[in-house]
Structure 1
Amino acid sequence: MHAHSTRFLIDPTPRRADGEYIAHARISANRADGILYDIELSGDLAGFDVREDAIAYAKSWAQEWLAARFG
């Protein structure tokens, strides 16, 4: 997981399917009691041949999603 800020966590780990890496992102945050909860699950975003490309795409998508909603 990668921290977007102290408030949100981005998990851009791709899944492997049909010979490609499928980009998707999970955006989470910690509640006051310390329990992690999901804010957004992107679903499948796009397929890539290279794992790092899928990760970069998902991270970018999540950062844009957060910026649009939380500034």
Structure 2
Amino acid sequence: MQLNTCNFRIDPTPRRADGEYMAHARISTNREDGAETELFVSGDLAGFDRRDEAIAFAKNWAQEWLQVRFG
């Protein structure tokens, strides 16, 4: 079964530290009243030389996290 992620938002914006892009993910959703609520913030997952690699890693990590909990 495939998880429908349209109810969740993943922000995979990496942070720059010590010359690397640190992958991390912020996962949020909307409550019934429409207000955004944060479900989870991963913390640093891994360091990458390239920004796009950090983003891809964080997105994949977050999708797996959602699949385990809501799939």
TM-score (norm 2): 0.91
SS of residue in 2 equivalent to 1:55: helix
1:47 and 2:44 matched: no
Deviations 1:32-69 (A, max 9, x none): 11111110100000000000000000000000000001
Q: How many residues align?
A: 68
- Bigger share in helix: 2
Matching of residues 1-71 of structure 1 within 5 Å: 5-71=5-71
Structure 2: gaps (5+ residues): none
Cα distance in 1, alignment partners of residues 49 and 36 from structure 2? 31
Cα distance in 2, alignment partners of residues 37 and 22 from structure 1? 23
* Structure with bigger RCO (C-alpha 8 Å, 6+ apart): 2
Structure 1: gaps (5+ residues): none
Cα-Cα RMSD: 1.0
Cα distance in 2, alignment partners of residues 62 and 48 from structure 1? 17
Offset at residue 6 of structure 1 (A): 2.4
